[in-house]
Amino acid sequence: MKTTYGLPAKREELIDVLNTAFAEQNLDDEEYENRVKEALNAKCIEDLELVVFDFPKEIKNQLFPTSITTQKSDFPPAAFSSSTKPITCSNSDALSNLFPARSSKAIFTTDKELVSVLTEKSVHFQAVFGTQKVDFRNCRFEGNRFRIDVDSVFSNTTLDLRNQDLAGKHVDIFIKGALNEIKIYIPRGGVVHKNTQVILGEYSIKDKRKGFLGQINKFLGTDQLQPESIAFTITLHGTIFLGNVKVVY
């Protein structure tokens, strides 16, 4: 159930927290701007909770004393907007080994997906002349190895896997397409294996801690406020032509 009562006041309170985090150099420019936009677009209190999903517990508890996002329910709230569609993947289908559990498409449009439960049955995302954002931040990972298929042509696709439940897991991401950009956000501590061919494009891994703000946070000791590093593995497969693949942690 979505909670809208008190949304304007809670939104203002949360943005104040984001402003403080930015002023104290705990968020870089891009992360700060993205979270403010997410807060402004929030349609309910549950949307706001995911804006600070990785903040220290004391801050989250102060903002949301009765937070429901930490309960890992089967149907968590939408992360982006009222148009966000939750995806739950299960193994009930007898053909689960042959076909993806769910398929989501963004064709000439913007698609924002919230994945609540992911099992060892694959999930498939497609974008053609569109923008697709897939949020795994509040996802429950059932199993040890997972497969995500991403097709992207003339599109921008973002996978947000910044979830501490990835600890000890292995994710295979199969990507293919052309003239696109695929951005993958992951927690600290993971190992990324690149079996992907990027033809006439660019593959990069960005560690935000090595940036200017990250060095300042380390000097001041404020980097300890960030989520703990976890051990997990991600393997990238497939081929991209005239596109970019960026892994950010």
Residue 210's pLDDT is what? Answer: 54
Closest to 18 (Cα-Cα) out of 228, 42, 1: 42
pLDDT at 32 over 60: yes
Q: Give the tens place of pLDDT for each residue, 79-104.
A: 333 345 555 554 434 334 434 456 78
User: Do the beta carbons of residue 141 and residue 89 sit within 8 Å?
Assistant: no
Q: Give the tens place of pLDDT for each residue, 114-150.
A: 898 999 989 999 999 999 999 999 899 999 999 999 9
Residue 80's pLDDT is what? Answer: 37
Q: Across-strand partners of 126?
A: 105, 151
Q: How many CB atoms lie within 10 A of CB 133?
A: 21
| Lowest-confidence region among 7-11, 56-60, 194-198 | 56-60
Q: Which residue has the higher pLDDT, 9 or 101?
A: 9
Q: Which residue has the higher pLDDT, 65 or 132?
A: 132
Q: Work out the burial of residue 201: count CB atoms within 10 Å of its CB; fewer than 13 is exposed, 13-18 middle, 19 or more buried.
A: middle
Q: Give the tens place of pLDDT for each residue, 153-191.
A: 999 999 999 999 999 999 999 999 999 999 999 998 999
